[in-house]
């Protein structure tokens, strides 16, 4: 954490990750400052998406970049899923709030989402593949849901103790 732009990311099972985010009231200076901070935090952590919930800001804002080149940032403010394909697929997911854990989650193959962009302009995004999965994963965060909650209670318990142990070890260092 050597850049002042970087924000600490909450780690599962931090109870704050279960906060339901409020809509962003207006895309003002505060939000315009937060966006580059969230993007820098996501890039630094080598993530493809980050929800405001994960940096302890409980407003409906997510940043995403699924490009190989890491230069196609997307900002979704107050996102609403207008349509989700009935066809689903189980794919492996990870999360910056659950480092080192990857597991299968069933998601719609494609979604159409309405959201404001970083300038406060209304956009409609048609997404499929990795982008569609990422949008659904990040929008879950805004509802206080972490992907491990789709897994079996047994797996979740194991992940929880693994995370608590890892956090305890990190604190010792």
Between residues 18 and 120, which has the closer beta carbon with respect to Ni ion?
18
Q: How far apart are CA 130 and CA 66, in angstroms?
A: 7
Q: Per rule CB under 5 A, is residue 131 in the interface with Ni ion?
A: no
* 95: contact with Ni ion by CB under 5 A: yes
3-state secondary structure of 154: helix
**Catalytic annotation on 119?**
no
Residue 39 touches Ni ion, criterion: CB under 5 A: no
> Which tokens belong to 83?
């349509």
Which member of 106, 119, 138, 169 is catalytic?
138
The residue (of 93 and 118) whose beta carbon lies closer to Ni ion is 93
From the CB of 167, what's the least distance to Ni ion, in Å? 17
Instruction: Calculate the CA dihedral of residues 148, 150, 151, 154 and round it to 10 degrees.
Output: 90
For 2, what's the count of Cα atoms within 13 Å in the CB-facing half-sphere? 0
Judged by CB under 5 A, the stretch of 15-23, 27-35, 90-98, 108-116 that binds Ni ion is 90-98
Name the β-bridge partners of 74. Answer: 64
- Can residue 62 be called a binding residue for Ni ion (CB under 5 A)? no
Mark the segment that binds Ni ion (CB under 5 A) among 11-19, 74-82, 91-99, 159-167. Answer: 91-99
Number of residues that bind Ni ion (CB under 5 A): 1
Nearest C-alpha neighbor of 120 from the set 81, 82, 76: 76
Nearest approach in angstroms of CB 122 to Ni ion is 25
CA-angle at 121, arms to 115 and 126, nearest 5°:
40
Q: Does 101 bind Ni ion (CB under 5 A)?
A: no
Q: Does 63 bind Ni ion (CB under 5 A)?
A: no
Whether the Cβ atoms of residue 146 and residue 95 lie closer than 8 Å to each other? yes
Among residues 13, 77, 21, 94, the alpha carbon closest in space to that of 53 is found at: 21
Residue 103 CB, nearest approach to Ni ion (Å)? 12
- Positions that interact with Ni ion (CB under 5 A): 95
**Residues annotated as catalytic (active site), given as ranges:** 138
């Amino acid at each position: 954490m050597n850049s002042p732009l970087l924000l600490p990311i909450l780690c599962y099972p931090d109870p704050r990750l279960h906060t339901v985010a409020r809509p962003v009231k207006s895309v003002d200076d505060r939000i315009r400052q937060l966006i580059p901070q969230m993007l820098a935090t996501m890039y630094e952590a080598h993530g493809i998406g980050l929800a405001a919930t994960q940096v302890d800001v409980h407003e409906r804002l997510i940043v995403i970049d699924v490009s190989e080149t890491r230069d196609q940032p997307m900002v979704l403010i107050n996102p609403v899923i207008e349509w989700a394909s009935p066809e689903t697929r189980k794919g492996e997911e990870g999360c910056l709030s659950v480092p080192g854990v990857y597991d299968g989650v069933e998601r719609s193959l494609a979604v159409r989402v309405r959201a404001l962009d970083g300038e406060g302009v209304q956009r409609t995004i048609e997404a499929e593949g990795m982008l569609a999965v990422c949008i659904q994963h990040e929008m879950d965060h805004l509802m206080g849901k972490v992907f491990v909650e789709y897994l079996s209670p047994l797996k979740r318990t194991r992940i929880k103790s693994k995370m608590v142990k890892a956090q305890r070890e990190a604190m010792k260092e």
